[in-house]
Amino acid sequence: MPHGYPRARRRVHSTLLPHRLAVRVGGVLLAAAGLLLSSLGAAPPASATTLTPHVYAGGVVQGFGTATTYGSPPGSSLASPLEAMASTPDGKGYWLAAADGGIFTFGDAAFYGSEGGTNLYAPIVAITPTPDGKGYWLAAADGGIFTFGDAAFYGSEGGATLKAPIVGMATTPDGKGYWLAAADGGIFTFGDAAFYGSEGGVALNAAVVGIASTSDGKGYWLAAADGGIFTFGDAAFYGSEGNTDLNASVVGMAVTPDQKGYWLVGNDGGVFTLGDAPFYGSDGGLSPVAPVAAIASIPNGTGYWLLAPDNVPVTFSTPSPNSTSPSSGRIVAAAASQIGPDPDNSEGPFCNPYGPCEEWCALFATWAWQQGGFPVPSLPFVGSIYNWAQTNGAIIPTTGTPAPGDAVLYGTGPQNVNTSVHTGIVAAVWPDGEIITIEGDAGPAPTGALNVVLNGPFLPKDSLAYNGVPVYAFAQP
């Protein structure tokens, strides 16, 4: 049963169900954003030059039960968003991993090296410690594996052509092997990790977001964004949230010490307990709501942590921008300064500082372009951004590579509000094509609340599975 879960979808205000924007922030989205053309051509709102960053309630790492919060990254901006976390063997510390491979240690978690400052081909999506806690592996979305401390290398999928990106990693009990799980349910085994089955080739209702192995290494669970659970080998089924009308997409799972239960966490911080997994609290029902990207449990099962990456500022300086235009940096910086919610919605639904009281993702994107020095009007309809860029800038097809500062356009085309449904600003682009975006009028939040969130990393071609809606183009101002 879910505990403390508000009835509001995570990133979506209507029928769209993103996975992490979800979605690692996933897949984090989306507001159906298109709408009135009444302010087409209007001047930027007077408040556009005086906006200040918002602040979410709570910290980057929040502990429940006996899980002590040992610290979070410093208030200074990170080069790339946080993506994953893992507990030390005694539960008295944890590691945080950023998308660029940066590692942050707290409590008794020791630092054994990182990929921070390295030009990675794809973003990091998982961190897994060795059994003695004297090392860890990092897994990238392209299947690349990086080893530190006493973590040994047993192979990777780096350089292979994957059908879907890697979303999670689990290790064998002796640390001499590991599994990688892909978003389509595919499983890759290395070292002494045995193959017990997968969902690869099966038409899933939602993308897989995580994997956990049994204590004897003879089985594993897969968790999907809709709360579905898949079991293999000696991993037992204790229930799922599949076929449940969730408030937010599931983004991670953790297993109890006796392997007779597990926790699932939604992007809005709601926690689901199944089997003998105790409930120690959640962020579900809090206001404002900070998107959650991961859950890590204390090894003895007496508590867990939630990771809320939107609570720490990011410069998006890694990977290196593939645009030399100074305006790109100004656009991204302006958008990033707005990440967070405004708990005061007293003026009415969809009231926002970027334009009139209406669905405002397009208003936010054009406001960011204005901060970059472009004479774009405040456009309230996503399709109008496409049309403006087609005349004044450039349209990049989904087969092309966007640059930071470009707008990502969701839907099937610019024709109307049913085909052009949401937009955001591209903040980072990896060589493998994965992007991170900053999106306004997004969740997790009740309909009409003011939220600007991080979304991704995700491959634009996989947006339908990750965000619940495809990308039809990128618009360059």
What string of DSSP letters covers 292-309? --EEEE-TTSSEEEEE-G
Determine the pLDDT at residue 284.
78
C-beta of residue 262 within 8 angstroms of C-beta of residue 253: yes
C-alpha pair distances (Å), 12 with each of 15, 267, 304: 7, 12, 27
User: How many angstroms separate the CA atoms of 447 and 10, rounded?
Assistant: 10
**pLDDT value of position 320:** 76
- Lowest pLDDT segment from 61-70, 317-326, 366-375, 428-437: 317-326
Q: Could you tell me the domains of the chain?
A: 2-52+319-476 (no CATH), 61-311 (2.130.10.10)
> What pLDDT does 344 receive?
64
What is the structure's pLDDT at 446?
74
CB 144 within 8 A of CB 122: yes
Mean per-residue pLDDT for 410-434? 96
Name the more confident of 31 and 125: 125
d(CA 140, CA 144): 5
Q: Between these two residues, 235 and 8, which has the higher pLDDT value?
A: 235
Distance CA 305, CA 28 (A): 19
Give 389-403 pLDDT, tens digit per residue.
999 999 999 999 999
**What pLDDT sits at residue 47?**
41
Q: Mean pLDDT over residues 117-128, rounded?
A: 95
Average pLDDT over residues 116-143: 96
Q: Which pLDDT score is estimated for 23?
A: 30
CA of 138: how far to CAs of 22, 80, 86, 126, 221, in Å?
Answer: 21, 15, 11, 6, 20
Question: Residue 392, SS3?
Answer: helix
**Which single residue is written with the structure tokens 């029928």?**
15
Structure confidence at residue 288 (pLDDT): 74
pLDDT for position 38: 28
- Measure the CA–CA gap between 219 and 311, rounded to whole angstroms: 35
pLDDT band at 289 (very low <50, low <70, confident <90, very high): confident
Q: Hey, CA dihedral for 53, 246, 98, 257, is it positive or negative?
A: positive
Q: What are phi and psi of 294, to 5 degrees?
A: -160, 160
Q: Is the pLDDT of residue 45 over 60?
A: no
Is 60 exceeded by the pLDDT of residue 213? yes
Higher pLDDT, 461 or 1: 461
Residue 383 clears pLDDT 90, i.e. is over it: yes
Tens digits of per-residue pLDDT, 53-82? 565 666 899 999 999 999 988 767 999 999
Amino acid 395 reads I
Tokens found for residue 296: 């890590």
pTM of the model as a whole: 0.89
Residue with the larger pLDDT of the pair 344 and 178: 178
Among the residue ranges 22-26, 362-366, 403-407, 441-445, the one predicted with the least confidence is 22-26
**pLDDT tops 50 at residue 148:** yes
- Report CA Rg, the chain: 21
pLDDT bin (cut points 50, 70, 90) of residue 382 is: very high
- The answer to whether residue 167 scores a pLDDT higher than 90 is yes
Residue from 301, 299, 294, 238 nearest 271 by CA: 294
What pLDDT sits at residue 324?
Answer: 63
From CA 391, how far away is CA 342, in angstroms rounded? 34
Could you give the CA distance from residue 455 to residue 310 in angstroms, rounded to a whole number? 10
Amino acid at 250: V
The stretch 347-353 carries a mean pLDDT of: 87
Distance CA 409, CA 424 (A): 7
Taking residues 152-168, what's their average pLDDT?
A: 96
Give the model's pLDDT for residue 122: 97
Average pLDDT, the chain: 87
Tokens coding 89: 């063997």
pLDDT at residue 26, as a whole number: 31
Per-residue pLDDT of 32-43, as tens digits, reads: 333 322 233 333
H or E stretch covering 463? helix 463-467
